Amino acid sequence: MPHLRAKNCSAVAVTVKFKLDENLPVSSASILTSADQNVDIVTDEGLTGAPDHDVVAAATAAGRILISLDRGLGDIRAYPPGSHAGIVVLRLTDQSATAATKPVSDLATPHES
């Protein structure tokens, strides 16, 4: 079946609520904020070093999508879909601040469907 698209339809800006895990650089928050996204940072909330389930619970309570480099957060047995607002695990070989910038920027950029 062909994909149907309305003529003269412009993209609608949507603000997404994110929570950045402590393993992402602070510059990631700036990238998302400059794209008009709503961002909280785990370290600003006193959750530094907190167990993963506490971080996920805080993100869920706030209705935020958690972004992390922690691969354990991708375990759907521990964090099944529907039990949280969303978890994005960036699987980067190079986990430096510079390397994390591109995927975070990609999340902030609207994409046409």
Structural domain contains residue 42: yes
Structural domain contains residue 26: yes
Both tokens assigned to 52:
């993963």
DSSP string, 50-102: --HHHHHHHHHHTT-EEEES-GGGG-TTTS-TTSSS-EEE---SS-SHHHHHH
Structural domain contains residue 21: yes
Please write the tens of the pLDDT for every residue from 74-104: 999 999 999 999 999 999 888 888 888 889 8
User: For the chain, what is the domain count?
Assistant: 1
Could you tell me how far CA 39 lies from the centroid of its own chain? 9
Structural domain contains residue 12: no
List CB contacts of 83: < 8 A, sequence separation 6 or more: 60
The domain in which residue 21 lies consists of 17-108
Please write the tens of the pLDDT for every residue from 9-54: 555 667 889 999 999 998 999 999 998 899 999 999 899 999 999 9
Structural domain contains residue 39: yes
The pTM of the full predicted model, rounded to 2 decimals, is 0.83
